[in-house]
Amino acid sequence: MVDQRFSVSVHVMTALAFHKGELMTSEQMAASIRTNPTVIRRLLSKLVEAGLLESFKGKAGGVRLAKNAKEISLKDIYLAVCDKKLIATPCKEPVKQCVVSCNMGKLLDEVVEGIEANSMDYLAGIRLSDLTAKIK
C-alpha cells in the first residue's frame, strides 16, 4: 500500500495557508480530500505536536497554521507525519558464501542515505507559501 500521509498533509496545510488564519475542521478538510475525518484528525494531531498547527476545541473549534506559511517547509511537514524512510532496504541476513550478498546492505544504505539527504534538501527549499502562490 502506498503511504499517502505526506501528500494528504500537504493538502491540509496548503488549504489552511490558503484560508489565512481561518479555523477549519477535520470534516471540512476530509470533504476536500475525499477521505474520512478520522484520517485527517490523526494527521492533524501529528502536525499540532510538531508545532505547525494550533488546535482549538469546542463547537466553534478547528485548526489553523501556528506559523506563517513562509516559515513552513515541505520538509517540516514530511518530518511531522512520516516515520519511515523513503526507501526500505532488506533486513535479511546475508548469505555468508556470497560476497555480493555480504556487501549489499552497506552499499544500499549509502544509496538510500544519499537519496534521503537530497530529498530532504529539496523539500526544505519549498515553502507552503510557494504552493499557495500557485493556486489560481
**Is residue 123 a contact partner of residue 73, using CB atoms and an 8 Å limit?**
yes
The helix (H) or strand (E) run that includes residue 112 is helix 99-124
Grouping H, G, I as helix, E, B as strand and the rest as coil, residue 64 is strand
Grouping H, G, I as helix, E, B as strand and the rest as coil, residue 91 is coil
Instruction: Report helix angle 5-18 to 74-81, nearest 10.
Output: 130
Q: Specify the pLDDT at position 83.
A: 83
Q: Specify the pLDDT at position 13.
A: 97
| CATH classification number, 5-133, choose in 1.20.1250.20, 1.10.10.10, 3.40.449.10, 1.10.760.10 | 1.10.10.10
DSSP 98: -
Provide the Cα torsion 77, 50, 35, 125; round to 10°. Answer: -10
* Mean pLDDT of successive 10-residue stretches along the chain, which has 136 residues: 86 95 93 93 96 92 95 97 81 89 89 93 97 94
Q: Specify the pLDDT at position 2.
A: 66
DSSP 14: H
Query: Cα separation of 26 and 8, whole Å?
Result: 12
User: Any idea where the domains of the chain sit in the sequence?
Assistant: 5-133
Query: Which residues, 6+ apart, have CB-to-CB distance to 28 below 8 Å?
Result: 62
